[in-house]
Structure 1
Amino acid sequence: MTTALMDRPAVQTLQVKPRRVWSKNQLLVVSIITPIVLFIGWELLSRLGVLDERFFPAPTRIFRALGDQASNGDLWTQSKHSIGRLIAGFLIGAVPGVVLGIVMGLSKIINAAIRPISSALYAVPKSAVLPLFLLFFGLGEDTAWYFVAVGAFFPVLINTYTGVANVSTVYYDVAENFGARKLRVFRTVALPGATPNIITGLELGAGMALIMLAIVEMLGGLGNGWGFMVWNSYQLFIIDQMYAYLLIFAIVGLVFAIFVGWIGRRLTPWAKK
């Protein structure tokens, strides 16, 4: 029996290949190279005739059109209007979204009253309610502000509520046992616990606010802004200029996401772990 045991093959140890860890610099290089490769491929396909330049102008033409808009001052004039609407609308929508989301997470009765309504309104296509805004507020800057605010409000509200609801009840119980008042619970438990979700909601809200800005500037009769220039360029079939202003939307969205993410990392250093 001993000989039989000795004749058995030894149990082989499973070798687990260590997972590769990418450094921040490597990830940054990938993030920079990817759009460059995309633009180079687009340029080559346009120059070779694979893409119809009437509808897909080469990136060099788009950047040239963007430079022309900057040199003649139109880009800065349109940016002044759009950035003002974006910031005003985002603040009008995001601040109430954070406050109401935290209140819903802390109060079951308020959550029961508001959550069905917010879920129903969130499902309504945002472009479909533009006629209502024009009917209520008319043509003007106020309409643009409130319309953009609606886009920012719901993502911030939902993510904030989710963040507060996901905070362990143990923390709330401890706060109550020590006699903490509602305002102190809000400041020391709910708000810090929900901050990572709030940051995510702000990023999503900023993206939706840009979409709403484009819609209201294209169809709201404002007569200026990035969205107006996209629509006007399309109607005049100045396609390279249309792509130039679409590129502005993409750049602003990227900058906004980077800025909000940077703030989030400063406010939630524990989230990295």
Structure 2
Amino acid sequence: MVKMMGRRLRWPWPPTLVRVLIIAAWLVVWEAVVRFGLVGQLLVAPPSSTVVAMVELAGLPEIQAGFVETLLEFVVGFGVAAVVGTLLGFVLGLSPAAFRILNSPLMTLYGTPKSIFLPLFVVFLGLGYQSPAAFAALSAVFPVIITVIAGIRALDQRLLMTADSLGASRLDKVRFVFLPGTFPAIISGLWLGIKQALLAVLLAEMFISGTRNVGYWIAHYASAFQAASVYALIAWLSLLAIALGLAWRRLEAHASRWRLTERGATL
């Protein structure tokens, strides 16, 4: 009896199959609820109509151009946040004086709702891609800064003592101790920045209708009560987010192998 209680219960089917079955059941219930009139199709589109709308919208040049515009805003915003956040994180993590001076203003800005800066971005940067990109950079930079600082402070002090005993310069310590040692924190912060940047871009696009990006088209179809088109664009954005996650995992795997190679070369 005790032996049986100590065993872990296992599903008779593979976990992937279970997930697929759960999603399929959810889609069937969703389709039935809408088709039987329990929810109005004016506000909630069934999955079948959403799939049809996905195919139709994918062939429209204006929708394709909208996704290109959104990706441009995301790449620019996240790129700025990644560079600035990593550099600021190292400066604040390695310099106690810089941390004392900049920590309070940065934490105040971090706790401030970023949406209040959208009108300022429109005033100073206009209605083009620059405003959503700047808003994405502002939203994504703080997770990068915080995780880099945390990674530096969690670094094993014995590594620094060893580097000091070997006469390593400050640049050598940054290259061979801090960068490899904080690598997991940097990767984690950048991944958080990716998610924040994508959300910020979409929020800014729905507020700023200067260009016909994805956020513009979502607001356009929502105002026209075309629920299937709205759901279709959201579905395409979800697939884009999944693709970004898979690409990031591959990049992380390659970077991890580089880290191991770099550490092996220095030993």
TM over 0.5: yes
CA distance change for structure 1 residues 63 and 108 in 2, over 3 Å: closer, same or farther? same
Q: Which has the higher contact order (CA 8 A, sep 6+)?
A: 2
1:101 partnered with 2:92: no
The aligned runs of 1:3-14 (5 Å cut-off) are none
How far apart in 2 are the matches of 1:117 and 1:176?
A: 33
**AA partner of residue 198 (structure 1):** I
Aligned length: 257
Partner of 1:268: 256
CA distance in structure 1 between the aligned counterparts of 2:127 and 2:234, rounded to whole angstroms: 24
Larger radius of gyration: 1
Name the CA shift for 1:33/1:190 in 2 (closer, same or farther; >3 Å): farther
Q: 2:191 — aligned with what?
A: 203
Instruction: Write out aligned runs for 1:137-148 (5 A).
Output: 137-148=125-136
- 1:169 deviates by 1.4
Shift of 1:144: 2.4
Bigger shift: residues 30-39 or 239-248? 30-39
Once the two structures are superposed, the pairs formed by residues 43-122 of structure 1 within 5 Å of their partners are 43-122=31-110
CA contact (8 A) 1:203 1:256 kept: no
- Which SS does the other structure have where 1:57 is aligned? coil
| CA distance 1:62–1:167, shift in 2 (3 Å) | same
Match of 1:5 in 2: none
Instruction: State whether structure 2 residue 260 is matched by structure 1 residue 242.
Output: no
Give 2:6's aligned amino acid: K
Question: Cα distance, 1:264 vs. partner?
Answer: 2.0
C-alpha distance in 2 between matches for 1:36 and 1:167: 45
TM-score, with structure 2 as normaliser:
0.86
Once the two structures are superposed, the pairs formed by residues 31-50 of structure 1 within 5 Å of their partners are 32-50=20-38
In structure 1, runs of 5+ residues without a counterpart are: 1-12
Q: 2:179 aligns with which of 178, 191, 203?
A: 191
Letter paired with 2:116? A
User: Which residues of structure 2 form unaligned runs of 5+?
Assistant: 261-267
Give percent identity, aligned residues only: 26
Equivalence for 2:240: 252
Q: Which amino acid aligns with 1:208?
A: Q
- Is contact 2:129–2:211 with CA below 8 Å preserved after alignment? no
| Mapped partners of 2:9, 2:3: distance in 1 | 18
What is the match of residue 6 of structure 2? 17
Aligned partner of 2:38: which letter?
Answer: V
Give the match for residue 4 of structure 1: none
Is the 1:66–1:245 contact (alpha carbons within 8 Å) kept by the matching residues of 2?
yes
Shift of 1:267: 2.6
1:237 Cα offset (Å): 1.5
State how far apart, in whole Å, the 2-side matches of 1:20 and 1:121 are.
48
Q: Superposition RMSD on alpha carbons, in Å? A: 2.6
* Code of the aligned partner of 1:154: F
Name the CA distance, whole Å, in 1 between partners of 2:18 and 2:96. 45
* Cα gap change, 1:65 to 1:162, in 2 (>3 Å): same
**How far apart are 1:181 and its partner, in Å?**
1.6
Query: TM-score normalized by structure 1?
Result: 0.84
Q: Do 1:162 and 1:197's aligned partners in 2 also have CA atoms closer than 8 Å?
A: yes
Task: Give the alignment of 1:119-198 within 5 angstroms.
Answer: 119-198=107-186
CA shift for structure 1 position 48: 2.8
Query: How far does residue 127 in structure 1 lie from its aligned partner after superposition?
Result: 1.5
Given that 2:42 and 2:226 are in contact with CA atoms closer than 8 Å, whether structure 1 keeps it comes out as no
Cα–Cα, structure 1 residues 215 and 54, in superposed 2: closer, same or farther, change >3 Å? Answer: same
